[in-house]
Amino acid sequence: MANLSRTAKSGNNWTTAELGAYNMMHTSITQTDVCVMDYNESLLLLQDDERLTSMKDPEPQVIAEAIAAFAMNNMTRERKLDLQPRDAITFPALTMTGTTPPSTKPSKSFWAIEPSRTHPFFQLFVCVIFKNTWRSVSFTAASKWDASLLYHPIDLDLDAKIFGKQLVSLVHEGRYGAADRLRYRLMDGDVRIKQHTVYESAAIAALQLSDPEKRMSDFTAWSTLVPDKDSPCTTPHVFRDTRTALLLQGSPSLNLPLVERFGIITAAKGYRRYFPAIARVVASFAPNAKHIIKFFIEAGERATEYAHHFHPEEAMETSQWFRRAGVEISAHTGKLGVALDLLKLKRDFSMPDSTYELMLLKLLESQKQGGKGAPVTNPSNSVELIHKLQLRDARARRYLGGTNGKSTRQVNMEGPATLKHENKGATLS
């Protein structure tokens, strides 16, 4: 077997810092006492690698490649590896002298390694590959940062504030893997986690996970812990960074489920200002009309529930605002069939004339274009229906004295029998 502990020799070109980092790497392998796999098996697999046994003093790049192969080969094991580079402590980089820089960047598929929440050992292998740059390889040792919190039993009878502070501290330090494991422990023990703005950064970090199910669950869990709009611990810019990450970077259409979840969460927390941008993405890229309508209905219901709890006097106005947003955004994105079906759904509020005028304008434009981009069965009949709906809303407003949403009285907006429409979405051609 190759001797993985290196000693200083005359003529070698490693600095003291490099040698220290190398030995620290070796120490992290040989002295780790917590392993997902059998310790001897894992060490044997690494030391038996031909690229290491064929040379007496392997270069850093060769070691990195061997570690990469070892980790990748073990990704399919029953217990997948799951520690992320940001959880580790990075030691001085080993400068690659006299070696050829890697021709390709590390594969993003390496993010498929999933946290097992039990093992700091494989942190070394993950970090080596992701810190493999054109000029250097950074070796990362398994650290002891979370031993007391995560690998030893914790007393859940202690004051919840203690665990809350520990969780906030981990997220502040960017140790999201450790924070995630602690959060699971607290949830399993039914410990209430107090909302905090710092948890938004953990939600954004979760977007980097490769497993779609875990990415969604972690993003949802951390985002839910962000303060509500009426919480005393909120700030003016809550969820702004999340909006940037999901809507202003990359391709939002590829992250449609996450965008939709973000829209529902922000609506349920009272942050309606983010909804129009989110809704435009959903209306533009959702697979079908039923999907779009379901999203708009759920967002409106969650927002109305929030208003009922914090501002009961604004509940009806909130319902109207979200329904109007759904209609107008659908119309602007060419989904006129969706917009029309949202108009026809049962509601206890009236829609403003400006919404009907927009719908009429878009329908007339679609008629001039021969129906292109307007998936409605019959544009002419739709225009007639919109006129009837607008007249019905005008009568309702007159009946309420023009208060439109400020009155506590509810109006039956089903209308005559010919306009009844069950809350099941649209049937579009």
Read off the pLDDT of each residue in 51-61 and give the average, rounded to a whole number: 49
Read off the pLDDT of each residue in 282-295 and give the average, rounded to a whole number: 96
Query: pLDDT at position 13, please?
Result: 44
Whether 222 shows a pLDDT value over 60: the answer reads: yes
The whole-angstrom separation of Cα 227 and Cα 194 is: 9
Please name the helix (run of DSSP H) or strand (run of DSSP E) that holds residue 89, with its range, or none: strand 89-90
Instruction: Name every residue whose Cβ is closer than 8 Å to that of residue 117 and which is 6 or more positions away in sequence.
Output: 82, 150, 180, 181, 184
Higher pLDDT, 153 or 417: 153
Higher pLDDT, 424 or 225: 225
At residue 394 the predicted structure's pLDDT band, cuts being 50, 70 and 90, is confident
At residue 375 the predicted structure's pLDDT band, cuts being 50, 70 and 90, is low
Higher pLDDT, 422 or 155: 155
Give one DSSP letter per residue of 248-272, joined into a string.
SSS-GGGGHHHHHHHHHHHHHTT-G
0.85 exceeded by the pTM? no
Strands 140-141, 89-90: pairing kind: antiparallel
Number of Cβ within a 10 Å radius of residue 100: 8
Instruction: Name every residue whose Cβ is closer than 8 Å to that of residue 428 and which is 6 or more positions away in sequence.
Output: 289, 337, 338, 341, 375, 376, 377
Higher pLDDT, 85 or 361: 361
Q: Where are the domains of the chain?
A: 16-144, 286-429
The whole-angstrom separation of Cα 242 and Cα 222 is: 12
Read off the pLDDT of each residue in 85-98 and give the average, rounded to a whole number: 29
Query: pLDDT at position 411, please?
Result: 28
Q: Could you give the percent of the chain with pLDDT greater than 90?
A: 36
Query: Nearest 5°: CA angle at 140, between 135 and 141?
Result: 155
Structure token digits, residue 51: 């690229």
Higher pLDDT, 111 or 410: 410
Instruction: Name every residue whose Cβ is closer than 8 Å to that of residue 183 and which is 6 or more positions away in sequence.
Output: 167, 193, 221
Read off the pLDDT of each residue in 252-273 and give the average, rounded to a whole number: 96
Whether 427 shows a pLDDT value over 90: the answer reads: no
Contacts by residues 318-321 (CB-CB < 8 Å, ≥ 24 positions apart): 318/272, 319/347, 319/348, 319/349, 320/347, 320/349, 320/350, 320/351, 320/405, 321/272
Higher pLDDT, 13 or 149: 13
Read off the pLDDT of each residue in 23-52 and give the average, rounded to a whole number: 35
Find where tokens 């914090």 sit. 310
Query: pLDDT at position 102, please?
Result: 36
Higher pLDDT, 19 or 265: 265
Query: pLDDT at position 407, please?
Result: 36
Read off the pLDDT of each residue in 28-39 and give the average, rounded to a whole number: 29
Structure token digits, residue 215: 């990415």
Read off the pLDDT of each residue in 117-134 and give the average, rounded to a whole number: 34
Read off the pLDDT of each residue in 91-118 and give the average, rounded to a whole number: 30
The whole-angstrom separation of Cα 77 and Cα 85 is: 20
At residue 15 the predicted structure's pLDDT band, cuts being 50, 70 and 90, is very low
